[in-house]
Amino acid sequence: MRKNKNRYELSGKKLNPKYFKWIKIFGVSVVLVFSVFLLLFFIFKNDILNWAINKVQHKVYQKYQTTLAIKEYSFTSFSSVKFKQISLKPNFTDTLLSLNEMEASIKIFPLFFGNLRLSALSLNDGQINLIRYDSLTSNFSNFLQKEKSTQEIDLDKKEANFAKSAYKIINKMMAQIPSDFKLNHFNIFYKNSDKIYKFFFDNTSLNEEVLNANIGFSTPTLVQNWIVKGSLSTTDMRSDVKMYAKDHSKMYLPVVDEKYNLILGADLVQLNLEDIDYSSDELKINCFASYTNLVMNHKRLADHDIKVNSGTGEFNFIVGENFFTLDSSSSISVNKIVLHPFVKYQKNPFKLYTLKVSTPDMKAQDFFNSLPDGMFESLNGIQAEGILSYHMFCELNDTCPRDVKFDSELRTNNFKVKSWGAAYLPKINGSFTYTPYEYGKPQRSFELGEANPNYISIEDISPYLKNAVLSSEDPSFYSHKGFVMESIRGSIAQNYISKRFARGASTISMQLVKNVFLSRQKTMTRKFEEMLLVWLIENNHVSSKQRMFEVYLNMIEWGPGIYGIGQASNFYFNKSAFDITLPEAIYLSAIIPRPKGFMWNFNDTTAALKPHMERYIKNLSRIMAGRKLLDESDTAMLNTEIKLTGPAKNLLRKYKNVPDTTEEEIIPADDFEINFQEELELKK
């Protein structure tokens, strides 16, 4: 008796022996109920199956106006059912699904509530036909017009819990995948107008979490077969798969080449979903990806293929009640370059976008060697020593985008260029041949140096002109190191507000590099290359500011076929660059962004300057005076009248004998009707 008492008092509390009696009764009752349940199912399983299938058929017809037909079905074991001759046909359209044979193991309990849930699935000789007749109708339209799910409604609400909703969606998707399935001779066809897309699945299986798949596809532009091998656990929400082309050629992503003009391929791709955890109202997703011999091409990226030998990405996502985050513990590698990104979107109480990128210290030569092929071609062969690291921060609040924060810095430690690559940057210190481009086509080449009679040294150019160009194009040129952060911030804010690229942030240094060393292609890679070259020139003191400004003034276009200030001063005013007056200097600075449209700034009948240009001259002169670039005497009796005395006057409509029939698109001069003070102050 003492022994039993000790057993009851192990927890330090006295327990009533009657509790054990009720526990035993409850356990026996559960076993009996479950046994009765199994017995009833065994006796009435065919009736239950008929009822469940009829319920599904009725639901499909009522909700989607589609007939689900099954010619034969029967139990092959306690929980396995075989179906034959299955079809899914929407009313008045082509058959959506036809399947010769399907065998499935059904989860018993959901079946009693009229729900078919599968634990195993085998499909043989099946086909899905997706046919789009026009932009509005298709044989699958009925399935696209269904009501939003609870999860989607939650995400639409301002107060939605992102983490909870996302986890429900992921969990539901995983639950729909049987832990054991086989696909054999299963095809998906999609027809849109005259284009036909085919996807084939053959000998594809998931068994005991081992995935083996043979996937083929045929599109109007691509035919390939992929092998997919690895593991997939729907219960643990983990996967680790590798993909490669069956013939070991490059594996290209289908459809995106047609829809987005993007070519994206690799020799081998590995995808690894490591962990999905939902706790404390936060959803954490950890995944990994790697590739070898990546190739991509898009007209906005580059005018040729971009190639990367190898790369990896370790992504750690955190989803909270009202935010999404790519954590800074994530990493992306491109060859030997390692980036640590941080991305955050916060919805409430206001929309907040945050982006951080940083790299650890790395050898400068490893950095240049790791730049992707097809990018930064001007730096091919460069030799450098020392240490480099990059750090960038950007944050934008939707309620006040003009207060955007942005900083970017490429840090160095004992950095030195030992040998320049394909682009010999020091060439701007001497004479060289320059070839301007127009719409991608080279124009006449000319010498930038003393051998050219139109080349004007910086000392022989009117101070008015130099100060007017600096004030309008790049006021802090002599003090910055190639970039003006405030101008970049203004560009980000304006582009965000406009929802398009409405303003750039180019400095004179950037314009110089673009024209001297790079192609005229307007691509992202060329812009990145431009910024890196500017950094190399400015931070390594490759050339003096005075020399850079002199080259800039002698190379830019000032009118149709007019290059350099030497030609421009004669073309407009039939005088030397040194004799340019203040109003003439400000006028010349105003036409730099649109040199071919200079004639639109004048009245067609009187050849007098239009009012908006007169206001521009007054505004810029006041700004120049405020920066102590002008004396009081210069602005006291300022005359805004501009009279063209050179060959340029013959291009004005007043002096033309025939109407202007040019088809070239010229931006109207009225586009200058903006807040000059704000625009120019941003360039400080």
Cα angle 276, 203, 131 (rounded to 5 degrees) comes to 85
Specify the DSSP class assigned to residue 4: H
pTM of structure: 0.80
Q: Is residue 438 part of a domain?
A: yes
Position 477 scores a pLDDT of: 94
Lowest-confidence region among 42-56, 351-365, 488-502: 42-56
Measured CA to CA, the distance from residue 490 to residue 679 in angstroms comes to: 9
End position of a domain, from candidates 26, 42, 58: 42
Q: Is the pLDDT of residue 677 over 70?
A: no
Gyration radius from the chain CA atoms? 36
- Beta-sheet pairing, 238-245 with 251-252: unpaired
Number of Cα atoms under 13 Å in the Cβ half of residue 415: 21
Please give the residue range of the domain that contains residue 593. 423-681
Contact 640, 609 (CB under 8 A): yes
DSSP 453-484: TT---GGGS-HHHHHHHHHHH-TTTTTSSS--
Tokens of 465: 């002109």
Q: What is the mean pLDDT of residues 615-639?
A: 87
SS3 state of residue 143: helix
In a domain, 108, yes or no: no
Pairing state of beta strands 180-192 and 118-132?
A: parallel
**596: which DSSP letter?**
G
Position 80 scores a pLDDT of 83
pLDDT > 60? residue 605 = yes
- What are the φ/ψ torsions at residue 219 (nearest 5 degrees)? -125, 170
Instruction: Compute the mean pLDDT over every residue in the chain, rounded to the nearest whole number.
Output: 85
539 occurs within a structural domain: yes
Helix axes 463-473, 545-555, angle to 10 degrees: 90
Q: What does residue 177 show for φ and ψ, rounded to 5 degrees?
A: -90, 115
Instruction: Please provide the size of the chain in residues.
Output: 684
Q: How confident is the model at residue 73 (pLDDT cuts 50, 70, 90)?
A: confident
Q: How many CB atoms lie within 10 A of CB 624?
A: 24
- pLDDT > 50? residue 682: no
Quick one: CA torsion of 72, 73, 76, 78, rounded to 10 degrees?
-170
Query: Given a cut of 50, is residue 658 above it in pLDDT?
Result: no
Which DSSP state fits 392? E
Structural tokens at position 27: 């356990």
Q: How many Cβ atoms sit within 10 Å of the Cβ of residue 478? A: 12
Residue 506, pLDDT above cutoff 90: no
What does 516-578 look like in DSSP terms, one character per residue? HHS-S---HHHHHHHHHHHHHHHHTT-S-HHHHHHHHHHHSEEETTEESHHHHHHHHHSS-GG
**Per-residue pLDDT reduced to its tens digit, 210-223:** 999 999 999 999 99
| Residue-level pLDDT at 661 | 40
Alpha-carbon distance of 422 to 519, in angstroms, equals 13
Q: What is the SS3 assignment for 677?
A: helix
Q: Are 404 and 492 in contact (CB under 8 A)?
A: yes
pLDDT (0 to 100) of residue 31: 57
The DSSP symbol for 374 reads T
- Please say if the pLDDT value at position 617 is more than 70: yes
Neighbours of 100 (CB within 10 A): 14
Q: How far apart are CA 173 and CA 567, in angstroms?
A: 69
Highest mean pLDDT among 191-195, 408-412, 485-489: 408-412
Helix, coil or strand: residue 359: coil
Instruction: Provide the pLDDT for residue 224.
Output: 93
Q: 3-state DSSP helix/strand/coil percent for the chain, to nearest 5?
A: 35, 35, 35
Least confident of 22-31, 200-209, 356-365, 439-448: 22-31
Number of helices followed by number of strands (H, E) in the chain:
18, 27
CATH number for the domain harbouring residue 523: 1.10.3810.10
Query: Can you state the angle between helices 582-590 and 611-626, rounded to 10 degrees?
Result: 110
- Bridge partners (DSSP) of residue 223 are 218
User: For residue 284, is it within any domain?
Assistant: no
Res. 109 pLDDT band, cuts 50 70 90: low
Question: Is residue 173 scored above 70 in pLDDT?
Answer: yes
Confidence of residue 589 (pLDDT cuts 50, 70, 90): very high
pLDDT: which is higher, 148 or 497: 497
Within a domain: 623: yes
The CB-based long-range contact list for 154-157 (8 Å cut-off, 24+ gap) reads: none
Query: Which stretch, 187-201, 379-393, 431-445, has highest mean pLDDT?
Result: 379-393
- Asked if residue 478 belongs to a domain, the reply is yes
Q: Would you place residue 27 in the very low, low, confident or very high pLDDT band (cuts 50, 70, 90)?
A: low
According to DSSP, the residues that pair with 261 across neighbouring strands are: none
Which DSSP letter does residue 671 get?
G
Alpha-carbon distance of 390 to 371, in angstroms, equals: 14
**How many domains does the chain divide into?**
2
Q: Which residue stretches of 602-646 are H helix?
A: 611-626, 632-636
Of 133-137, 309-313, 399-403, the range with the lowest mean pLDDT is: 133-137
Tens digits of residue pLDDT in 368-382: 999 999 888 899 999
The label of the residue with tokens 């007019």 reads 562
Q: Is the pLDDT of residue 166 over 70?
A: yes
Going by pLDDT thresholds of 50, 70 and 90, the confidence category of residue 115 is low
pLDDT for residue 112: 55
Whether the per-residue pLDDT at 397 is higher than 90: the answer is: yes
- The answer to whether position 289 is within a domain reads no
Share of the chain above pLDDT 70, in %: 85
Could you tell me the pLDDT band of residue 110, with boundaries at 50, 70 and 90? Answer: low
Torsion of CA 365, 370, 372, 373, to 10 degrees: 60
Is the pLDDT higher at 50 or at 400? 400
Question: Residue 283 CB: number of other CB atoms within 10 A?
Answer: 22
List pLDDT tens digits, range 29-48: 655 555 555 555 555 567 77
In the prediction, which pLDDT does 26 show?
63
Q: Is the pLDDT of residue 660 over 60?
A: no
What pairs with residue 592 in β-bridges? none
Best CA proximity match to 549, nearest among 451, 424, 465, 435: 465
Residue 298 lies in a domain: no
**Which two tokens mark 463?**
């101070």
Share of the chain above pLDDT 90, in %: 56
